[in-house]
Amino acid sequence: MTSSEKMTTANTSADMKCIVVQQTFTGKRELKVTTAPKPPAPGDGEILIGVKACGINFNDVLVRYGLLEDSPRPSFVPGFECSGEVLDIGLNVTHVDRGDRVVVLTRFSAWAEQIVVKKDLVFKIPKEMSFREAAVLPVSYLTAYILLFEIGNIKSGQTLLFHSAGGGVGVALTQLSKLVPNLTLMATASSTKFDVLRAHIHYLFEHDMDYTEDIKKIAPEGIDLVLDCMAGDDCERGLALLKFNGKYVMYGTSSLLSWDVKNLFGITKGMTNWWQNDKVSCLRLFQDSKSIHGFNLVQLLSRGSNETRRYLGDIMHKVFVLYKEGKIKPVVDSVFTFDEVNNAIGKLVERKNIGKVVIEPFLNSKTEKVKKKKSSSTPGRQDSSSTSGPDDDDDDKDPEELRHNSSSSQ
Amino acid sequence: MTSSEKMTTANTSADMKCIVVQQTFTGKRELKVTTAPKPPAPGDGEILIGVKACGINFNDVLVRYGLLEDSPRPSFVPGFECSGEVLDIGLNVTHVDRGDRVVVLTRFSAWAEQIVVKKDLVFKIPKEMSFREAAVLPVSYLTAYILLFEIGNIKSGQTLLFHSAGGGVGVALTQLSKLVPNLTLMATASSTKFDVLRAHIHYLFEHDMDYTEDIKKIAPEGIDLVLDCMAGDDCERGLALLKFNGKYVMYGTSSLLSWDVKNLFGITKGMTNWWQNDKVSCLRLFQDSKSIHGFNLVQLLSRGSNETRRYLGDIMHKVFVLYKEGKIKPVVDSVFTFDEVNNAIGKLVERKNIGKVVIEPFLNSKTEKVKKKKSSSTPGRQDSSSTSGPDDDDDDKDPEELRHNSSSSQ
């Protein structure tokens, strides 16, 4: 446990620190640290949590820029996942108790010193799991597990293509795919990360390059499973590369961000406007025996039934089992204070992370951040989290450090 | 074994009987019994089979009317499945030997007294399985198994909607779904078959009726898995009924036939031309966490790789295991001679069958057909095949018999 984790969350003030998405009078959206009243005592079926660490996902980037459908109107507290200690429980809560170390999957509201959440997506964490590891687990590993084993139904001998191999989901996919023997892994990533990723992924391609012809040479019959967090051009490429009976899954729309930026600067003329033209024919899918899937964790959290939430909970338990067996190990790229949230988000926008970026409400700036080592995404070999120590300015890394920076998805 | 099955396939003539799809000078397609030279000795990796019984599928109906994409140009021998005895084997064939009782999955060519096929989709059949049962097994049970367990990944507690419950695939789906506890089964069928089907399917709806509102009342959260062999309106309805994370699978296009007929008679004005307008948005699927699959066995047989054919073979072996365990039991609706092939096809067009229709090359017309009993689609309880006896004209059934008639798919 790091010294930050040992800090007490007890706070005599009635206010607490939290991060909000707000909109200025000129319409500009921004992320800002502010104070707000602490939440009230938990009601029936609710749990009050003192937050220790929060994971950042690519969806948070979309939220920050107003690009995620069904976001609340500003101001609101964003954040989909955090770890912490149970401070209080409401009626009809039996699976956790005060003082328990837990992790939470939630639709927004995670980035605060204290939060009250419904009980069903709060999970006790194994004692050997740090709060930092826990904070980055839910979104990435739930997503990766569902993509590979629930939707993808991936089997020995198959070929898998995914994007943003250095991102949170990318690292989780890489680790989980080791559970299936004899897969051929192909992925895109920033070329600066190839040195680190090469040991775990058979074929690497640069983001923003058209890899279609290269992949056709490697896998002339096509790909069994394409997992796409980018959309846009990668959707067209993914569909074109599918083999008969192959599956294409869209689980993110990261390239919306670059599209939006290009759009803002008026440089979209002549470009294929995929976003208005992404239709596929059911009959064509039938003729070719192919499938297209959408997986949207945020929508499942907001519109899913109790059954859906139980389903997500069941998978979280499977992920914990894999953790205890040493088969997965969350990778923390870097840790920031709440006050540095824009730097943290920036790291994802610039695709500089390998693994996940964390923000912590009780971290003393510049003193207690994660000390990074040469990391590896092999299960059980990562050692990039849970150690406190100085972390210099992120823009001032030595070459060894830079190799840990990566793109991110979800 | 029926007396027809005991008939020898030995034939001293150099010619044999087969069924061909041919086109008249006026462009009209027709199915005709003719004679053709017997096939040559099997080559490397090939097997010569003396055919005993052939299954008819809805795809054969589409072939007959020229509605199946990638059909050969007439004349050709149609037929996707048959059972028989191995008459000779070529080099490098080790898994079967002369005299073995086998079943064959093939892309066309099955409807003849003798056929030569590649070895990889020829399977020895269990000794307790009759040739008639074997002949109707491959297409229906492979399709149903893949739909439920490979694509659908169906799980206890889920809700399933499928069409043509009385057809070959429909009966196989009904039987295989019993392997998963606590499913809710909904299906469409001709109302004349409801009496028979009601015991096995929780909610039945009539073909050609819009069942959307009824199903929404029964399953307000939507359906987990929609298996659609109709396409057209049922595609739109199926997609509209999916719950979050739900799967829609198109595995047939039976309604093409009625569309085509309506089109011929110029009565399509004002109807939604779904066939030219069946596009869905990938982004929409992502937002809703839904999936659309195509499964097309004919295309897999014609364009699939060796790996695909091995995959189909592996599933056939699983189906045989289920048969031996008494968990599935193919249902033969009726048996016709080769000369009666148009009557046999007509039964599927009119959706009068429950289970599968068989044609046999060595059956004496009107004397050796299956004697039908009150059948049931419960695994292990069907007893509608393998018994010889008189079968009167199909248009002259007593009410008990009529209850066995059903719609068909694939």
Whether the full predicted model's pTM is greater than 0.95, yes or no, is: no
Between B87 and B299, residue with greater pLDDT = B87
pLDDT band at A306 (very low <50, low <70, confident <90, very high): confident
A159-162 and A223-228: which strand pairing? parallel
pLDDT at B263: 60
Sign of CA dihedral B212, B217, B218, B222: positive
CA distance B92 to B116: 15
A387 or A63: which carries more pLDDT confidence? A63
Name the percent of chain A lying above pLDDT 90: 66
Residues of A in contact with B285 (CB under 8 A): 250, 292-294
- Lookup: tokens for B216: 């929404």
Task: Check A294 against B307: CB less than 8 A apart.
Answer: no
Give dist(CA B161, CA B203) in Å, integer. Answer: 9
For residue B192, the model assigns a pLDDT of 93
More confident residue, B36 or A402: B36
Mutate to test the interface with A, among B292, B300, B302, B409 (most CBs of A within 10 A): B292
| Mean of pLDDT values over B275-280 | 72
Contacts across the A-B interface (CB distance below 8 Å):
139
pLDDT tens sequence across B232-274 = 889 989 999 999 889 999 999 888 776 666 565 555 454 456 5
CB-CB neighbors (< 8 A) of A305 in chain B: 221, 243-244
Report ipTM (2 d.p.). Answer: 0.80
User: Do the Cβ atoms of B294 and A289 come within 8 Å?
Assistant: yes
pLDDT band at B184 (very low <50, low <70, confident <90, very high): very high
d(Cα A94, Cα A45) in Å, to the nearest integer? 9
> How many Å apart are CA B160 and CA B182, to the nearest integer?
11
Q: In sequence order, what E strands does A97-144 have?
A: 101-105, 114-118, 122-124
Confidence at residue B259, expressed as pLDDT on a 0 to 100 scale: 62
For residues A295-304, give the mean pLDDT: 87
pLDDT above 90 coverage of chain B, percent? 66
Q: Model confidence over B363-380: pLDDT tens digits?
A: 876 545 554 444 444 433
Q: How far is CA B332 from CA A299, B141, B211, B374, B404, in A?
A: 46, 13, 29, 12, 10
3-state secondary structure of A48: strand
**CA gap B21, A29 in Å, rounded:** 67
| B67 interfacial to chain A (CB closer than 8 Å) | no
Determine, for residues A245 and B286 on separate chains, whether the beta-carbon distance falls below 8 Å.
no
pLDDT range class, residue B5, cuts 50, 70, 90: very low
- Please determine, for residue B395, whether its predicted confidence score (pLDDT) is greater than 50: no
Q: Where are the domains of chain A?
A: 16-136+361-365, 152-294
- What confidence score (pLDDT) does residue B283 get? 87
Chain A partners within 8 Å of B291 (Cβ): 151, 249, 291-294
Q: pLDDT tens across A22-64, in order?
A: 998 888 899 999 999 999 999 999 999 999 999 999 999 999 9
- Closest by Cα among B65, B87, B144, B130 to B319: B144
Q: CA nearest A247 in B: which residue? A: B293
Instruction: Spell out which residues of chain B touch residue A304, defining contact as CB-CB under 8 Å.
Output: 244-245
- Nearest chain B Cα to A306, which residue? B221
Average pLDDT, chain B: 84
Contact assignment for A289 to B296 by CB distance below 8 Å: yes
What pLDDT does residue A1 have? 42
Q: pLDDT (tens digit, 9 = 90+) per residue, A326-360?
A: 999 999 999 999 999 999 999 998 889 999 999 99
Phi, psi of B352 (to 5 degrees): -100, -5
As a CATH number, domain B16-136+361-365 is: 3.90.180.10
Q: Which residue has the higher pLDDT, B185 or A257?
A: B185
Concatenating the DSSP letter of every residue in B42-85 gives --TTEEEEEEEEEEE-HHHHHHHTT-STTPPPSSB---SEEEEE
B69 in contact with A at a CB cutoff of 8 Å? yes
- Residue in A146, A225, A237, A282 to test binding to B, most B beta-carbons within 10 Å: A282
Q: Are strands B184-189 and B203-206 parallel, antiparallel or unpaired?
A: parallel
Say if residues B22 and B32 touch (Cβ distance below 8 Å).
Answer: yes
* Residue B268 backbone dihedrals phi, psi, to 5 degrees: -90, -5
Question: Which of B295, B353, B250, B249 minimizes the C-alpha distance to B142?
Answer: B295
User: Domain spanning B152-294: which superfamily?
Assistant: NAD(P)-binding Rossmann-like Domain (3.40.50.720)
Mind listing the pLDDT tens digit for each residue in B346-355?
Answer: 999 888 999 9
| pLDDT band at A365; cut points 50, 70, 90 | low
CB-CB neighbors (< 8 A) of B305 in chain A: 221, 243-244
Question: What are the start-end ranges of the E strands in B209-339?
Answer: 223-228, 242-250, 279-281, 291-294, 332-337
Q: Smallest Cβ distance to A278: which of B275, B283, B291?
A: B283
Please choose, from the candidates A25, A355, A392, the residue with its C-alpha nearest in 3D space to the C-alpha of residue A172.
A355
User: Is some CB atom of chain B closer than 8 A to the CB atom of A300?
Assistant: yes
**Residue of chain B whose alpha carbon sits nearest to that of A300:** B244
Interface-testing mutation among B275, B289, B300, with chain A (most A C-beta atoms within 10 A): B289
> How many CA atoms within 13 Å lie on the side-chain side of B350?
14
Give yes or no for residue B135 having a pLDDT over 80.
yes
Lowest mean pLDDT among A366-370, B39-43, B405-409: B405-409
A161 touches B at CB < 8 Å: no
> Range with the lowest mean pLDDT among B122-136, B152-166, B250-264?
B250-264
Whether B303 and chain A come into contact, CB under 8 Å, resolves to yes
Predicted confidence (pLDDT) at residue A305 exceeds the cutoff of 90: no
Question: Could you report the per-residue pLDDT of A58-110, keeping only the tens digit for each?
Answer: 999 999 988 888 889 999 999 999 999 999 999 999 999 999 999 999 999 99
Pick from A235, A282, A294: CB nearest B288: A294
How does the average pLDDT of chain A come out, rounded? 84
pLDDT tens-digit profile of A122-173? 999 999 999 999 999 999 999 999 999 999 989 999 999 999 999 999 999 9
- Stretch 219-238 of chain A: residues touching chain B, C-beta under 8 Å: 221, 231, 235
A30 and B CB contact within 8 Å: no
B95-109, B175-189, B222-236: lowest mean pLDDT where? B222-236
Cβ–Cβ contact A303 with B under 8 A: yes
Cα–Cα distance measured from residue A344 to residue B256, given in angstroms and rounded to the nearest whole number: 55
From the list B89, B78, B108, the residue with the least C-alpha distance to B48 is B89
d(CA A384, CA A337): 17
List all residues 6 or more positions away from A276 whose beta carbon is below 8 Å from its beta carbon: none
The predicted structure's pLDDT at residue B256? 74
